[in-house]
Amino acid sequence: MTPMDYTSTPFLTYSDINTDDIDLFEDAWGFLSEFSDVTVVLQLVKPVPGQKLISRLIEKIRHTE
């Protein structure tokens, strides 16, 4: 295997990438992680599944045994 030339892309490690002043979520998805934005998203997420979903999962588990 020959070493890389000056014209090729250098290898980077994760520690070489400086992300100190970068919000990765904002940069990747345009999601501003201000407190008010987070609370709006948390209101959209249902942390507890509905009874219909629970019943369907229980039925699937019982029929696979």
**Ordered DSSP codes for 8-50:** SPPP--GGGS--TT--HHHHHH-----HHHHHHHHHHS-SS--
pTM over 0.75: no
Question: What percent of the chain is modeled with pLDDT above 70?
Answer: 72
Give the pLDDT band of residue 17 (cuts 50, 70, 90). confident
pLDDT higher at 2 or 49: 49
The pLDDT value recorded for residue 45 is 80
